[in-house]
Amino acid sequence: MQKVVLATGNAGKVRELASLLSDFGLDVVAQTELGVDSAEETGLTFIENAILKARHAAKMTGLPAIADDSGLAVDVLGGAPGIYSARYSGENATDQQNLENCCILYGMFRTTKRQARFHCVLVYLRHAEDPTPIVCHGSWPGVITRQAAGNGGFGYDPIFFVPSEGKTAAELTREEKARFPTVDKRSSCCWMRYAMAKLPPLSLYIHIPWCVQKCPYCDFNSHALKGEVPHDDYVQHLLSDLDADVAWAQGREVKTIFIGGGTPSLLSGPAMQTLLDGVRARLNLAADAEITMEANPGTVETDRFIDYQRAGVNRISIGVQSFSEPKLKRLGRIHGPQEAMRAARLANGLGLRSFNLDLMHGLPDQTLEEALNDLRQAIALNPPHLSWYQLTIEPNTLFGSRPPVLPDDDALWDIFEQGHQLLTAAGYQQYETSAYAKPGYQCQHNLNYWRFGDYLGIGCGAHGKVTFPGGRILRTTKTRHPRGYMQGRYLESQRDVSDDDKPFEFFMNRFRLLERAPRAEFVAYTGLTEAVIRQPIDEAIAQGYLTECEQYWQITRHGKLFLNSLLELFLAE
């Protein structure tokens, strides 16, 4: 459950809100339980004071916060006691003293105009610097009696008369009072949860930039290691980078972490412990979060893997690429087939939640039988997940400047068709263009990417995507080179995704998956209406790329084969 701090020490109020919000997966805890004192209420309105209290609680705890402010407003008293209801007779006044003071002042006017209104404001802040708090305001009309009555309730309830019930608020039972809530807290809580639920799930990507050597096909942000890895310094910069981004989490629960590179398995066990402890201290990390770390078979050590597991890593992705010695040398890999098998067996024996083997096909001069043999050896190691990528030649790589001879299109098609059959027969289900898994073992982090989810990105060259209420989508890129990054220059660029570009970006990710795409997610995750994509959707259906039902779009086999043509329909003109 997502933890939310309530800016109060009132046990009754905590119970009430906890009961209302438990249905929505929110765990409400009083700020006093976290050692937080009350904020000074210096606002001039109920809304201002509620925001002050919520902001103080969020700042002191690092959690999303809820606060309320309420009070009685008597018309003839010009709206008094108003925001001073709880301290109308002084800072340490009792309910009885406040009530008596109100009655005395009211009696001085000797009027029959007895209208009053009880106001209540409920505020939700995603984080301490949230610029758009969710504010719920309600009021309960009544009249002031000259004679207090009833022992229920508190504060001004004994003199707040409800004409429709013929009783004061203090005489109403809990069930009767529920029909006349000062503010419809259940509706307000639903609204708060709805505003949060509209945002996509949140993940965290952490980049470790160093490798023993740069592979000739690699266009990732990796740097050949010169000297020792600066374990402690780099981790501290990662956490400082996260400090700068943490407000963008907006209090959401982080479902997955992926530590990629580079070669994350160059990082020491203690450094990994410090890193993940720091993440837990800054973000609302789900108790069952998937935490994946990439590893190079050439850097695998038993003790270090055990340290990673103790730190919280529960999924390892091993970059095997091939089990052929000649092919590994051609790819510039630092490991051999035996090291790859040893790493897989070690991961399998640790009792991790899952592990993945990365394989590539379409390698230089690779035959069909060589590609299938790689798959057979991988399957024999029984990984729950297999990523099977086709080698592509990228610019700004050694292969890009001196391209090797690769299998032609017909050979690539045969490799894919027969490899797909081999994996399917072994119990692996394809769920994404290059990803296969046994049932229940899909990579949740990558699923969040392809479902157009959000992710914070920290570390050299890391990318991030953050959605805000209202549909704004921000993309961030961090400084690529370790030298600049470790001088504290973390953010290289950021840009808002335009409304024109959102459809293409959404479907470019979504249509990598074989699963159906919920139509409601397009509206929720982009802030656009379906009308803006009606024409390209209709054209995609007409061309056989998609099928459509009331709730989903489903990419067809024809659409998968001509994915680029399908996506071009959604490009901004």
Residues serving a catalytic function are 69
Q: Check the annotation: does 49 bind a ligand.
A: no
Beta carbons of 419 and 388 less than 8 angstroms apart: yes
Q: Check the annotation: does 184 bind a ligand.
A: no
Q: Check the annotation: does 10 bind a ligand.
A: yes
* DSSP single-letter state for residue 37: P
Spatial separation of the C-alpha atoms in residues 311 and 269, rounded to whole Å = 8
What's the Cα-to-Cα distance from 567 to each of 430, 509, 524, 555, 571, rounded to whole Å? 21, 10, 20, 11, 7
Q: Check the annotation: does 12 bind a ligand.
A: yes
Spatial separation of the C-alpha atoms in residues 92 and 89, rounded to whole Å = 8
Q: Which two tokens stand for residue 343?
A: 């790493």
Cis peptide before 440 (omega within 30 of 0): no
- 285 has which bridge partners? 254
- 368-380 and 409-425 helices, crossing angle to 10°: 20
Q: Check the annotation: does 155 bind a ligand.
A: yes
CA angle 197, 199, 201 (to 5 degrees): 90
Beta carbons of 147 and 154 less than 8 angstroms apart: no
Q: Check the annotation: does 157 bind a ligand.
A: yes
Q: Sort residue 60 into left (φ over 0), alpha (ψ -120 to 50) or beta.
A: alpha
CA 443 to chain centre: 15
Q: Check the annotation: does 13 bind a ligand.
A: yes
Q: Check the annotation: does 86 bind a ligand.
A: no
Beta carbons of 411 and 419 less than 8 angstroms apart: no
* DSSP single-letter state for residue 40: P
Q: Check the annotation: does 58 bind a ligand.
A: no
Instruction: List, in sequence order, the alpha helices (H) in 180-282.
Output: 185-197, 231-245, 269-282
Beta carbons of 28 and 17 less than 8 angstroms apart: yes
CA dihedral 279, 284, 289, 294 (to 10 degrees): -30
Q: Check the annotation: does 440 bind a ligand.
A: no
Q: Check the annotation: does 156 bind a ligand.
A: yes
Q: Check the annotation: does 262 bind a ligand.
A: no
Q: Check the annotation: does 298 bind a ligand.
A: no
Q: Check the annotation: does 70 bind a ligand.
A: yes
CA angle 242, 246, 250 (to 5 degrees): 155
Inter-residue long-range contacts of 483-491, CB under 8 Å, 24+ positions, other chains counted: 485/237, 485/241, 485/459, 485/460, 486/230, 486/233, 486/234, 486/237, 488/237, 488/240, 490/237, 490/240, 490/241, 490/244, 490/458, 491/244
Residue ranges at the known binding site for Mg(2+)? 40, 69
Residue ranges at the known binding site for substrate? 8-13, 70, 154-157, 177
Residue ranges at the known binding site? 8-13, 40, 69-70, 154-157, 177
